[in-house]
Chain A
Amino acid sequence: MESEKAKILPFYVLIDVSASMSGDKLDQANRIMPQVVDALAEAPILADKVRFCVIDFGSDAQVRLPLCDVLDQHSSLPSLTIRGATSYAAAFRLLRSEIEVNVKQLKADGYLVHRPAVFFISDGEPTDPEHEWRTAFQDLTAGFPTYPNFVPCGVDSANPRTLATLIHPASGPKQMQMYLMEKGQNPADAIAAIAEILISSMLASGQSMAQGSSGMILPAKQDLPAGISAHSSDDFV
């Protein structure tokens, strides 16, 4: 084991690939990772520290891009394809096991690991029983020392009330937010806007690391792209 302390900022993107995502929405979802790569190529300080993982979920959940340095020539970007229903439970369970394994490995390799950040993008309601995905989310966020900062993002028919319960932490100084497509917007454009938020959050978090903070930084409300609104957990009760 090396004795050094390089800092790592792990980002996980969870993307809904249920049947309703087909068409323009999936095309936009497929453009998220190339945009992330372009942004990191312009930000060498951050690129040396950020690791990215892409998980998609439909009837089941799959790791499409294992946590890696996306500018590394050996990592190739996944192409997402549609797979049936919308199992939130499968997504949360897989995310938890990935985070657990990844953080353990990174720490064994001698890294200092910042709290993982998760962008969860969905266009619909979960199709699995409520108690199942609630239990899976509970396992991901409570009593899990390396719980992630969880940012739900909803487009199209996603239910704001459901997604609002996924904001984590929901309160306190490091409170996260939820991003929603505004009514009447084109959902594919909304996914592009969410990618923009993800990238500016990543850049801001990198800058705040350089200023001694370890927190994840989300863009201010006035800096949000058009067609997207930000909410905290108490906006929907």
Chain B
Amino acid sequence: MTTYKHILIAEDDSFLLSLLDIQCSSLNMETCCVENGEQLITEALSYQYDIILTDIQMPLCDGIQAMQILRRLGYDRPIFAMSADSLDCEGFDFILQKPVDIDQLAELFNQTPQQQKVQLQISSELTALFYQNLSQLSQDFATAIHNRDFVLMRQICHKIKGGAASFGLSILSQLADQLQQRLSAETLNDNLLEEGRQFLLVLQQSGAKNETA
């Protein structure tokens, strides 16, 4: 089985991003693409990537700031920059001149080692504890909907978002994330309450699946 190196590409120009995505994929890299420095930091901190390739000028947080924040947080994996201007900046492992030469990129990828991957260990006791917690959260969420308590609904979504993905419930985690964002951004309204009810059904089904498993 071939194991691909994982690359995180950050570029705000959608055309260039697509081009880099295609080029890196053709070099047998598994790609993830983001469009600004904030997304770059979040994704990089997942520690899934062997290489980061970033543009310099990007919205929200530029490539240099993102690299400096990551280095300050102890991120020690390779970060390559791409720049149309000459750039002298400590912290990058290499600075590529734009337009990026694919042969140079291929050589850099070949020189970069694949990072060790460590699986998360989840015991059956821990899984049982998680589902016990999920059942309680499900009951609390039903009460929060009944009482139109948006603050409690948001807090519960936050807890589910953080925990569910570790236990293989990625869709539940994503739904919790989406609902939490809406609960933070909007004031009390019936549409949101209805979304809450739909989320509760998914939440209850997620707990029930474990009981029948």
Q: Do A and B come from one complex?
A: no
